[in-house]
Chain A
Amino acid sequence: MEILWLLGVPLAGGLLLALFGHKRWAPELNTLMSLLTFIAAAVLTVGIVSEGPITAFGEQFFIDSFNVFLVALTAFVGFTTALFSRPYMRIEQHHGRLSSNMLRLYHSMYQLFTFTMLLALTTNNMGILWVAMEAATLTTVLLVSLYRTPASLEAAWKYFILCGVGIAQALFGTILLYFAAEKLLGAGGNALLWTHLNEVKGQLEPTVLSLAFVFLLVGYGTKVGLVPLHNWLPDAHAEGPTPVSAVLSGLLLNVALYAVVRSKVLVDGALASHLAGNLMMGFGLLSVVVAAFFLSRQKDVKRMFAYSSIEHMGLMTFAFGMGGAVATFAALLHMTVHSLTKSAIFFTVGHAAQKTGSQLMENIRGLVDTNPTIGWGLMLGSLAILGVPPFGVFASEFLIITTAMHEHPWATPFLLLALGVAFAAIFSRVQEMVFGETTGKRLPHPPALIPVFVHLSLVLALGLYTPPYLAEWYRQAARLIG
């Protein structure tokens, strides 16, 4: 029942806002819809945590501890981003960058994008998972090119083509999976249901499954932003409106990684070898290292944090690839804290860019003087994402690195080097932007900074103390993934 609300509200919101998205009260309606979605997600989460996994609507939907945690996170960040987007988009309109038609498109697509992500998370059908991932691209591609500048058009075209081609590989992987499953489960709807596949995973044909996993990893990995398939990501993040950058980075990448992990569970069951994990570790490590070095060469602040997202997604992929209870626990924790921190950073960066009228870091100076909350928000957010204790990112990175030292010592130097390079690059840039001579001007609407500090205090709280029920929840999820 909660699932119906969870999916129905954003879908209805998308349709409503397609009609009324240009009205003066549309941002409030958008926020209200996101709030309702979040309430539905919270109710669902409480149910799952106390009563265990459920399936619904003829097993078409399946919720367990792993995906319900992502559902809650997605709905929460979706809601806070809607709160942030309210003043942000008003300021953009005030600056004359947006027409009322563009706002209507933006609001409608924002809700539909939330819908596609929640559908991808809750569906039990690997085919529908693919359909929802592709639909998530379709809903965001017009948002990336919302401003219709040449650069944003180029970014959106690249995003569309690269993710389209990438996700086509995932479709081939899904077809191969179905091909293997159909022999055991018979043709028809059931052979793509994850719960059914999970029961028979030991008997699935290993050669087909290993080929299928390669295609699934390349396909969904394109959307995770794994190097060398990451080319679309910095452009799409830099050229789209900031709320879109925040949800792309904080949520879409997580959902894509979720698809990879779901596939990995099946493949691990079918193969005696550690092929899936090794592939993920390889891609993950490469992403961490390459992204860290690209990071230090960026001039655009949103591009820099986009590369930082690639780095962190690489770290999570690496941790899921290692497998085992501790690494998986750490990866889940890292998913949560990265999502919260990165979206908070994008909120502050968005307002900072609005104040100075530029996304180039050399033009952003002295935020602390003109608007201390934006300045300190950016500073604290950056410290959090760089893994400075006592923030939650430190806890998860610490767990990942200690596990790596134990199980794959060869990888540790690369990880430490990459984290060090990223630290030096981001910290020095952010320091210049936050302190220093001031250039900014006042914003026509008060900026939304409550979401920033809510996110950062959650991340801080997770670093200091993980409540027992939350730890238990992560542990349950980690056991499911194995």
Chain B
Amino acid sequence: MVPAFSIQLLNFLAALLLLIAFAMLSQRRILSLIYLFAWQGAVLALSTTVVAYSTGQDHLYYSAALTLILKALLLPWILHRLIIRLNIKWDVETMINVPTTMLVGIGLVIIAFNLAAPISQLAGTITRNALGFAMASVLLSFLMMITRHKAVAQVVGFLAMENGLFFAATSATYGMPMVVELGIALDVLVGTVIFGIFFFRIRETFDSLDIKHLEKLKED
């Protein structure tokens, strides 16, 4: 029997995750964006630990530890170093229409919960409400990638999307098999390093990290 307290705690953490996703959507400063991303990783690790504790699934402790190291510490650290070396630590992105973006975001959350509803009913897991939250944060990260014009912000959006997917995996299924989780973690890590290489190459070529320079290849 799972104590009602853990369920409450998990719902709270899931809501926190969604809140962070909204905060990222509206955050203009690159540095704050990376801090938010680190917090999202920490919340994710905490929620995984709670699931592990309340269900007795021991392998989830490992994935919680992996999440903490990779997503709350290592990836933010890599990104932080990158923005220092690229000298864009204090960059502020000009975004138009933050209120509209937020409204679209709210719409996406509603869609996500509707989409997740039939599946949540099938879930016997304690975290069944969380699937809606997970899908909502995936969609919000997706929206963030579409609305941003800076390469770094797009990559943070991409990684935040992966966080949402990871939350879906823990909430719906108590985590994927360990070998798959390790593989995914490796892909994400290598991906971030390659993104880092790209930042330098893009800057070298275009003198800026604004991806509006990367919209030349169009069909006539």
A residues in contact (CB < 8 Å) with B: 125, 127-128, 130-131, 134-135, 138, 141-142, 145, 148, 150-151, 153-158, 160-161, 164-165, 168, 171-172, 174-176, 178-179, 182-183, 187-189, 191-192, 205, 207-208, 211, 235, 239, 294, 297, 299
Contacts and interface: CB of A to CB of B under 8 A. Distances in A.
B169 A161 contact: no
Interface of B: 57, 115, 118-119, 122-124, 138, 142, 145, 151, 154, 158, 161-162, 165, 168-169, 172-174, 176-180, 183-184, 186-187, 190-191, 194-195, 197-198, 201-202, 205-206, 211, 213-217, 219-220
A150 B168 contact: no
Contacts of A153: 198, 201-202, 205, 214
A179 B119 contact: yes
A208 B145 contact: no
Contact of B214 (A131, A157, A183): A157
A205 B197 CA distance: 43
A205 B122 contact: yes
A305 to B, nearest CB: 16
A297 B219 CA distance: 8
Contacts of A125: 177, 179-180
B201 A148 contact: yes
A192 B176 contact: yes
B205 A150 contact: yes
Nearest to A239: B217
Given A171-B184, A235-B217, A188 B176 contact: no
Contacts of B217: 151, 154-155, 158, 235, 239
A131 B183 contact: yes
B119 A131 contact: no
Nearest to B124: A183
Contacts of B154: 161
A8 B139 CA distance: 39
A191 B172 CA distance: 14
Given A131-B186, A192-B177, 9 more contacts: A148-B201, A153-B202, A157-B214, A168-B165, A172-B165, A179-B123, A182-B173, A183-B124, A208-B119
Contact of A131 (B138, B168, B187, B215): B187
B187 A135 contact: yes
Nearest to A205: B122
B118 to A, nearest CB: 6
Contacts of B219: 294, 297
The 8 closest A-B pairs by CB, nearest first: A127-B180, A131-B183, A154-B214, A189-B177, A134-B187, A179-B172, A179-B173, A175-B169
A141 B173 contact: no
14 contacts: A127-B183, A130-B183, A138-B191, A145-B198, A145-B201, A150-B216, A153-B205, A154-B213, A157-B151, A165-B161, A168-B161, A179-B123, A187-B174, A207-B119
Nearest to A192: B177
A318 to B, nearest CB: 23
Nearest to B123: A179
Contacts of B187: 131, 134-135, 138
Contacts of A160: 194-195, 198
B179 A189 contact: yes
